[in-house]
Amino acid sequence: MPEIQNSRQTPISRPNVAVSPNINQLEKSVFAQINQYRQSKKLPPLQWDNTIAQQSRIHAQQMANGQTTFSHDGFKERVQVISQKISYRGAAENIASNMGYSNPGEQAVVGWINSSGHHKNMVGNYNLSGIVRLVGH
């Protein structure tokens, strides 16, 4: 649930960005559910960003193969890498582990809605997102 605020940097204007065709159906579903929730709260939808998704995928792979624990460790470093391509004012991260559910994406979104810190990230003043699903060991 970490969040970084930095008023010295400004967001860049981006046209509507389509969801990358390289993401799987669960990632698309979670992205859509988050945007539906944001819209129900009168917030603008997030736009997909491949740079964010790439850093998320690297972190997910590291957690899945045991290189790092299931945590937000390295969040600031991921934001630094992302900031080389994207100007930003703030960044946040939600992660979930939902093994054994028939609907792990929905479980993640519901869990985030019901967690104050994760919820704050979901409804925060953000405009870009990257969602990653990784099946670990």
Please list, in sequence order, all residues whose beta carbon lies within 8 angstroms of the beta carbon of residue 16, skipping any fewer than 6 positions away: 47
pLDDT < 70 regions, the chain: 1-23, 135-137
Structure confidence at residue 99 (pLDDT): 80
Structure confidence at residue 106 (pLDDT): 94
Structure confidence at residue 18 (pLDDT): 43
Structure confidence at residue 100 (pLDDT): 82
Residue 104, domain member (yes or no): yes
Q: What is the CATH number of the domain that holds 82?
A: 3.40.33.10
Residue 9, domain member (yes or no): no
Residue 137, domain member (yes or no): no
**pTM score, whole prediction:** 0.79
CA 92 to chain centre: 8
The token pair at 86 is: 């994207």
Structure confidence at residue 109 (pLDDT): 96
- Structural domain that includes position 63: 23-129
pLDDT digits (tens, 9 = 90+) for 86-117: 999 999 999 998 888 888 899 999 999 999 99
Please list, in sequence order, all residues whose beta carbon lies within 8 angstroms of the beta carbon of residue 77, skipping any fewer than 6 positions away: none
Residue from 127, 61, 58 nearest 89 by CA: 127
Residue 5, domain member (yes or no): no
